[in-house]
Amino acid sequence: MASDFHLSSYVPPTYNALRTTLLQKERANVERLLIPIKTTWKEKGVEPQNVVQVITGNAPVCKVVGIIIETSFPHIFWTPCVVHTLKLALKNICDAKNSEANREVYDECYWIIEVADAAILIKNFIFNHNMVNTMFSLFAPLKLLCVAETRFASFFTNSSFNLMFLLLMDII
């Protein structure tokens, strides 16, 4: 193991050195490495006057960054991530249990759970059967992507589900 290997003459930096001088040196190094990239910004359009909108996550720290950006550059608008916002809304809807307290919401929105479950079953079927996966790749104009488990993952929409269903029916 790496922790079992000791260099007798090595002295690690102190906590204070990591927070001050070493951090400042590394920042200067990064700034130096960014100089060639920053010189291309004017010709490639990456300048504050060319930015209209910044989209970030919905975490409180991202909201603070958005406020700082809008304060520093009044022409730039900050927008929270729509996919994350929709995911949170759908999560609340899909987590709703069929009870008397939320009967109306459940009756109106239970189809979302069914569509999401069906889309996951279809995706798993295609990915787990090589021949079907190959046929789908050859004949479908869409690429089937597997969304990684993250807190920003989204569900298929009803129209995407219908389109995928029709493509599968054409293959079969």
CB burial of residue 35 (10 Å; 0-12, 13-18, 19+): exposed
Instruction: For 107-168, give the DSSP string.
Output: HHHHHHHHHHHHHHHHHHHHHH-HHHHHHHHHH-SSPP-PPPS-TT--PPPHHHHHHHHHHH
Residue at 135 is within a domain: yes
Same domain, 68 and 11: yes
What percent of the chain stands above pLDDT 90?
Answer: 8
Residue at 47 is within a domain: yes
pTM: 0.38
* Domain hosting residue 129, numbered range: 99-171
Of 7-11, 39-43, 85-89, give the lowest mean pLDDT range. 85-89
pLDDT score for 89: 73
User: What are 60-70's pLDDT values in tens digits?
Assistant: 888 888 888 89
Domain count for the chain, please give it.
Answer: 2
